């Protein structure tokens, strides 16, 4: 299975093409739209979320709510395009306006100008923008529906925002219903503290990041490989999460904590009880030797603060080479909740890639029969 996305932040639309989906997968468009809405939610979001109200349009590959086995094309319209058409139109645009030369630290602006031989960072930032993730959420929700048909579930929550961190361990079921809260955090007191901190950061025209934890339940053992290192499941999933804008670190299971413990306190000991192999702990996060081991997969990702600060940061004007303050456009103060939804979505797609690469199958009946025959 392969995903290709296209589109600019202020262009006409964002588009995704999914190749390799089996036929007869039932597509729930309402669920796709619900995840697109969740991507726009969360405390600390910016003004653009009031302009856009994302909805998916399926252009190809689905008939009567069932996939055909042909490429599926998804589109999410940019409603703000009408305000940008004269500057962004592919048929002729006034590129002298909305030009950006005060390159922003932490963005792709300056490096992209050199790499793509440009003089206007607008030609870089429009594609580098996290707005692109809207169609990755749409595609990931289709992958979620494929995984669910096999009995595999994916969820997650916000573990921390800036210095406000929840160190409790929660079960899959405890965190599965947290999307009803504006910060996706289980603890009410920490949610209140995080909202207060976001308000303080907003007043100082700064931004905040956080840590997201993701869980996968129901994936059988043996996905990934210990024979070909390019096929390791943890490497594949970490790559998917790191491809999301603003993610600067990924942990599996104990992650960096494993380096601070003795081996006897890290490795999950194995027992045989009731006719089955069991582990009493899951420090490995469900992945051993680059393969799923049948336990819950546990991943954490660190999101840096959004680099567009309304007060600007010190930089240099690309044209004049003079010191200045970085350009500002509409920006979130904190988009950790949006990031959590995006990460769930790219995780779903990455898992579906691994599942289909192992099982094959041109239709969902074949895929499900093959999955059901696998051992635990």
Binding residues: 39, 45, 127-129, 245-246, 289, 304-308, 330
**65: left (phi > 0), else alpha (psi -120 to 50), else beta?**
left
Helical residues (DSSP H) of the chain, grouped into ranges: 29-39, 48-51, 85-88, 109-115, 122-128, 133-149, 172-176, 188-203, 233-242, 336-359, 364-373
User: For 12, phi and psi rounded to 5 degrees?
Assistant: -65, -40
Which residue, 6, 66, 80, 76, is CA-closest to 36?
76
User: What residues form the annotated binding site for FMN?
Assistant: 127-129, 245-246, 289, 304-308, 330
In the three-class reduction of DSSP (H, G, I as helix; E, B as strand; rest coil), residue 93 is classed as coil
Query: How large is the angle between the packed helices 29-39 and 336-359, nearest 10 degrees?
Result: 140
Which residue, 167, 260, 176, is CA-closest to 211?
167
Beta-carbon contacts of 239 under 8 Å, excluding residues fewer than 6 positions away, are 350
User: What residues form the annotated binding site for NADP(+)?
Assistant: 39, 45
Residues paired with residue 147 on neighbouring β-strands, in sequence order? none
Taking the CB of residue 24, how many other CB atoms lie within 10 A of it?
17
Dist CA 180 CA 164 (whole Å): 20
Beta-carbon contacts of 199 under 8 Å, excluding residues fewer than 6 positions away, are none
In the three-class reduction of DSSP (H, G, I as helix; E, B as strand; rest coil), residue 344 is classed as helix
Burial (CB count <10 Å: 0-12, 13-18, 19+), residue 374? middle
């Amino acid at each position: 299975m392969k995903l290709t996305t296209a589109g600019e932040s202020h262009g006409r639309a964002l588009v995704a093409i999914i190749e390799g989906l089996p036929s007869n997968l039932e597509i729930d468009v309402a669920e796709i739209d619900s995840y697109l809405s969740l991507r726009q939610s969360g405390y600390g979001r910016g003004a653009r979320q009031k302009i856009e109200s994302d909805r998916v349009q399926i252009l190809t590959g689905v008939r009567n709510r069932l996939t055909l086995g042909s490429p599926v094309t998804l589109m999410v319209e940019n409603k703000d395009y009408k305000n940008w058409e004269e500057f962004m139109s592919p048929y002729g645009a006034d590129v002298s306006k909305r030009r950006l030369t005060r390159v922003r630290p932490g963005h792709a602006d300056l490096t992209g100008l050199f790499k793509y031989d440009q003089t206007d960072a607008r030609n870089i930032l429009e594609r580098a923008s996290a707005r692109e993730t809207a169609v990755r959420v749409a595609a990931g929700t289709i992958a979620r529906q494929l995984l669910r048909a096999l009995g595999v579930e994916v969820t997650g929550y916000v573990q921390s925002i800036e210095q406000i961190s929840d160190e409790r361990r929660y079960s899959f079921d405890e965190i599965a219903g947290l999307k009803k809260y504006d910060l996706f955090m289980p603890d009410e007191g920490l949610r209140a503290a995080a909202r207060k901190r976001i308000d303080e950061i907003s007043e100082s025209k700064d931004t905040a990041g956080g840590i997201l934890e993701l869980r996968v339940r129901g994936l059988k053992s043996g996905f990934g490989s210990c024979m070909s290192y390019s096929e390791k499941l943890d490497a594949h999933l970490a790559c998917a999460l790191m491809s999301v804008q603003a993610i600067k670190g990924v942990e599996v299971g104990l992650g960096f904590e494993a380096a601070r413990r003795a081996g006897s306190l890290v490795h999950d000991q194995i027992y045989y009880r009731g006719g089955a192999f069991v582990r009493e702990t899951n420090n490995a996060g469900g992945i051993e030797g680059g393969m799923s081991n049948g336990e819950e997969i546990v991943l954490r990702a660190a999101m840096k603060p959004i680099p567009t600060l309304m007060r600007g940061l010190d930089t240099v004007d690309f044209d004049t080479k003079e010191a200045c303050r970085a350009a500002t456009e509409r920006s979130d103060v904190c988009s950790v909740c949006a990031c959590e939804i995006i990460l769930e979505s790219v995780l779903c797609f990455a898992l579906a890639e691994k599942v289909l690469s192992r099982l094959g199958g041109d239709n969902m009946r074949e895929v499900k029969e093959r999955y059901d025959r696998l051992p635990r």
